[in-house]
Amino acid sequence: MSSNTWTVLDESHAALRAVLAGLRPSDLHLPTPCERWNVTQVLQHAAGDQLGFAATITGEGWPTYDPFAPSGELDGDFDAFVAYIEETMRASAAAWSTIATDAAEAPTPLPQGKLAGWIGAGACGLDAAVHAWDVAVATGQPSPLSDALAEQLLPVAREIVEPLRAYGAYAPALSAADAGGPAVTLLRYLGRAA
């Protein structure tokens, strides 16, 4: 088995871990920039997507719920929920470590199916990083989405997002004419008022 480092995925997971470290139980029902979902639902969605990417590669470990219809209810206590999200990121990172960084194709759970490795790993990272930003905004934490990370994620977003808008996965893009840097440009492309 090869071991490959996907920096974009590592940095995206670090962004999600940063907001998890600042999360309190009282934050879980706060509204987020994902207007239909609260903090719990955004994190359930993000965790389910990490498992979906991992399972597409490994063939096992699919989420036991629909990540696009998160319940907003915890199966256990707060600490168990945070630990579960961490486990999903570890599963995702472990699965991606088996894909060569120069892979021409990698399986993804996206409707597009197989994508170049850099796009697939970036898509997995995009989900973690952008939902980390959603939670940070909802909970009053500093943005974990740096311009450097956004610069890596923006080309990925431009490769995958347009077809996904038809599925309701992303809101329509907002004007980026007055964008203040790569992070703002990325968020506005994804329909978030940054």
What is the pLDDT, as a whole number, of residue 11? 97
Q: Is residue 179 part of a domain?
A: no
pLDDT bucket at 169, cuts 50 / 70 / 90: confident
DSSP sequence for 7-20 = HHHHHHHHHHHHHH
Q: Which two tokens stand for residue 80?
A: 């168990």
By residue count, the chain amounts to 194
70: pLDDT strictly greater than 90: yes
Reduced to 3 states (helix: H, G, I; strand: E, B; else coil), residue 139 is helix
Q: Is residue 159 part of a domain?
A: no
Task: Give residue-wise pLDDT tens across range 3-55.
Answer: 467 999 999 999 999 999 999 999 999 999 998 999 999 999 999 999 999 99
Q: At what angle do helices 182-189 and 117-139 cross, to 10 degrees?
A: 90
Q: Which two tokens stand for residue 16?
A: 């999600």
Reduced to 3 states (helix: H, G, I; strand: E, B; else coil), residue 32 is coil
177: pLDDT strictly greater than 80: no
pTM above 0.75, yes or no: yes
Proportion of the chain above pLDDT 90, given as a percent = 84
Task: Give residue-wise pLDDT tens across range 93-120.
Answer: 999 999 999 999 999 999 999 999 999 9
Q: Is residue 182 part of a domain?
A: no
Q: Is residue 56 part of a domain?
A: yes
Q: Is residue 185 part of a domain?
A: no
Give yes or no for a contact between 72 and 37, defined as CB atoms under 8 angstroms apart: yes
Q: Which two tokens stand for residue 128?
A: 């973690």
d(CA 71, CA 38): 10
Q: Is residue 129 part of a domain?
A: yes
Q: Is residue 184 part of a domain?
A: no
Domain with 43 in it: 7-146
Q: Is residue 153 part of a domain?
A: no
Number of separate domains in the chain: 1
Give yes or no for a contact between 183 and 148, defined as CB atoms under 8 angstroms apart: no
Question: Who contacts 180 (Cβ-Cβ below 8 Å, separation ≥6)?
Answer: none
1: pLDDT strictly greater than 50: no
Q: Provide the CATH number for the domain around residue 138.
A: 1.20.120.450
d(CA 89, CA 14): 10
Query: Across the chain, what does the average pLDDT equal?
Result: 93
